[in-house]
Structure 1
């Protein structure tokens, strides 16, 4: 599994209905995209759920690097982002685990993303094992659709992503609204906690 996200921060007075319309029209195009485990079309609105910004920030879980490459530079969809907003930096992580939650059959309305650095003097083996155990606990929480854990070995940063059917505790990291969810190959990358 490969994990990626890009964030397009918009002006504070930006009409977020523009993004909502964009997603309602273009979102279903990836509902059967080869190699895509999951794409969550996410936004943050200034003043909503503690967000200081307006932002469009899709989050991806890829089942294959071929699918990811096709999307980014093979004409599979990223060109529309570049055309509309310029080319944003794409953050990416190596996937560790993707777990189904008790609400997998329901439609998630919220997402959270929490990142934290791995201490430089700590062995990654123990830190990742602890993070996986924590992820398993998060996956069993009521209101959880999907959780995922990944690491960036360049900066030694961990990221925990969760899709939720209920409003999350803002202490879980950045809170997003889910506008659409494409999950053509989510079953290929998921295990049960």
Structure 2
């Protein structure tokens, strides 16, 4: 599993209905994309749920890096982002775990992303093991659809991504609205919490 996200921050007066219409029109194209486990079409809207910005920030979990490469530089869809918004930097993390929550059958309306740096100079074994145990606990919470954990070994940070069917408390996390969810190969990477 591999996780990735790009964030497109838009002007404060940007009409976010444009993004909602874009997602409604284009999202079904990835509903069967080879190698894609999950794509959450995420937005933040200035003044909504405490967001200070307007942002389009999709989050991906890939079952294969081949699928990710095809999407980014193989003509699989990222070119549309580049044409419309320029080429944003793409953050990426090596996947550790993806767990099904108790509301896996529901429709997620919110997502949270929590990024934590690992202690400097520390062996990553303990922080990752502790984060996996924490993910298992969190994935059992009511309202959780899916929870995932990944690591960036360049900056040694952990990212926890959670999809929620109920409004989520975003304490120490970035809170997003979910406009659409594509899950063509989620079954290949997900386990029960």
* TM-score (norm: length of structure 1): 0.99
Q: Report the secondary structure of 2:171's partner residue.
A: helix
Deviation, 1:170, is 1.8
CA RMSD of aligned residues (A): 0.6
1:25-174 → structure 2 map (5 Å cutoff): 25-174=25-174
- Give the match for residue 177 of structure 2: 177
2: CA distance, partners of 1:23 / 1:11: 18
Give ranges in structure 2 of 5+ residues lacking alignment: none
Which consecutive segments of 4 or more residues in structure 1 shift more than 6 A?
none
Q: How far apart in 2 are the matches of 1:50 and 1:119?
A: 29
Measured after TM superposition, the shift of residue 121 of structure 1 is: 3.3
Aligned length: 193
Distance 1:51 1:169 in 2: 13
Cα displacement string for residues 30-83 of structure 1 (whole angstroms, at most 9, x for unaligned residues): 000000000000000001111110000000000000000000000000000000
- Structure 1 unaligned blocks of 5 or more: none
What SS is found at the alignment partner of 1:26?
helix
1:76-110 per-residue CA deviation (whole Å, 9 max, x = no partner) reads 00000000000000000000000000011010000
The Cα shift of 1:172 comes to: 4.8
